[in-house]
Structure 1
Amino acid sequence: MTSSSPKLTLGPVLFNWKPEALRDFYFRMADEADVDTIHVGEVVCSKRTPFFDPFIPEVVERVAASGKQVVLSSLALIMTDRELAQARDLAASDILVEANDISVAALMGGRPFVAGPLLNIYNEGTLASLEAMGAARICLPAELSADAVATLAAGAKAEIEVQAFGRLPLAISARCYAARARNLSKDGCQYVCADDPDGMDVETLDEVPFLAVNGTQTMSYHHMDLLGSVAGLADSGISRFRLWPQTFDMVRVAELFRAVLAGRMAADEAEAALVPLCPGAEFANGYIHGKAGHLFIDTD
């Protein structure tokens, strides 16, 4: 299923930002960002949920009032009875839900949902199984090449979404890397993940940047940048592109992606404008070209 004009999605904030700052971020994105859909909800660690949950109703109301679609994103790893109860409550919502754990997809009982990128959808069989469960939109993992993405899109009944910007969520663990790095236990973490609002860089023994850590989540060190590929992907049937929130000016980032998709700006011009918006970021797009993910392939 493809739409006549590709849409932009703002993924859920994956980092542990202060609740008021997170609320204000969502308010600004609702009011100013040229995106079609905004995801809200805790994906990484359920210990964070009590801090932002009180703000969710007003955020949802603000996003809906702006004319944008709201999606409630689930945890990516459900391990406790409390987290399962939260998942059941989420699945019962009358707002569209993104399932980032397969148990949430099962809890939907056949009702439409979004299959998140952490469900590991790499082939037609998995895609068809999720569609049979009710997936109306599927966000693909980032490791797929453009050819693989096009193959999946060609046979899909659901909308297909591709991750196009930001640090990529790669894996979730039961252990908290941020706490362990500071000699703290997970239960006594003191919420130190908040010290790294865009994730904590991880280096090899040779001091080469390698990955990033966000609490219990492993992320890419490099920031995905598909500005040079979104037009071609849209032509191959991709109907949505996801922007992962960072502390950069996400309103302006969204403007650049929209301008390229609409044909108002050349990709190389947008690339040049993106660099100063993201100080310190190193970009990559290797996966979509069938290369190592950390590489940046010039599309000129």
Structure 2
Amino acid sequence: MKDSSRFIKIVEVYSDIAGRKKGAGLGIDALMKSSQSLNSRYFKKYPAEVILDENSSFNEVSAYSNAKYIDKIYLVTKRLADRIKSLRDEKLFPIVLAGDHSSCAGTMHGLKMAHPNDEIGVVYIDAHADIHSPYTSPSGNIHGMPLSVVTNLDNKESQINQLDEEEIKYWEKLKDIAGEKPSIKPENIIFCALRDFERAEETLIHKHNIKKYNAKDITYLGIKTVVDEIFKKLEHCKYIYVSFDVDSIDPLYLPGTGTPSENGLSFEQAMQLNMQLIKNEKVCCWEIAEINPKYDDANRGTTAIFKILEQVTKMLIKNY
């Protein structure tokens, strides 16, 4: 029997300064609490390591209005990227438990650093497109920008903001963590449960022919068909990364997230989608983000999310 603890590495990213609402940094501890309530040994079997955060910065107003806390987020992103690279160099499978979803930029940069000559596909399970840049973002919150970070897309054609020199400097540094070339090609991204995005993001989705499925598509086509189509489209990619933002789930089931959006997935759909994706041998990293227990009544939603984490891990062990 395989000792799964020897090839799976849990990486915890408590960073919580890239979103609109504070609280996502509490999500990891809420998962641990749910694990204990279910008498699960998950966090004992898979000891985690923690990426140093900069959450104390949230007590101060950011100096950067179009890319809030970008100087601090750069530090966290670089730390995570370096660690993901080293884990992949050791042929380990990282499971990233994250606060706000800006973390995924570090994960994707790290994967590119580990596999510089290979095509990397991204399955992005999220209500939101997260492909704004400081030039286009109406909020300046960087959790809405990670895909622009790794694809190096400024989208100046849709520009609404004027950046100062310091913002530009940090934005360029953030994009170039893995090198000057984009870590991810936009055409190698597939959205699942996407339903809430702005015109500037829609422009990029159409321009780069990024495939997207909303929850209605997933319900109509079925999980198996959607997953088969995803891997067919990404068959040229040697490695695939799955990023699961819990706001992909409908707030009827999961209110405990910072940016809920109606018409999302059910818990069962989210479970089955992630479990079917993780079975593919090309998947090399899985991430979960944006659990916010401050908005979760009695921790019920987080308990359901923990069950997804546990079952996805079991499926990974079975197929790795």
User: Higher strand proportion, which one?
Assistant: 1
Range of TM-score over shorter length = 0.3 to 0.5
Instruction: Give the alignment's TM-score, normalised by structure 1.
Output: 0.36
Instruction: Give the alignment's TM-score, normalised by structure 2.
Output: 0.35
User: Higher helix proportion, which one?
Assistant: 2
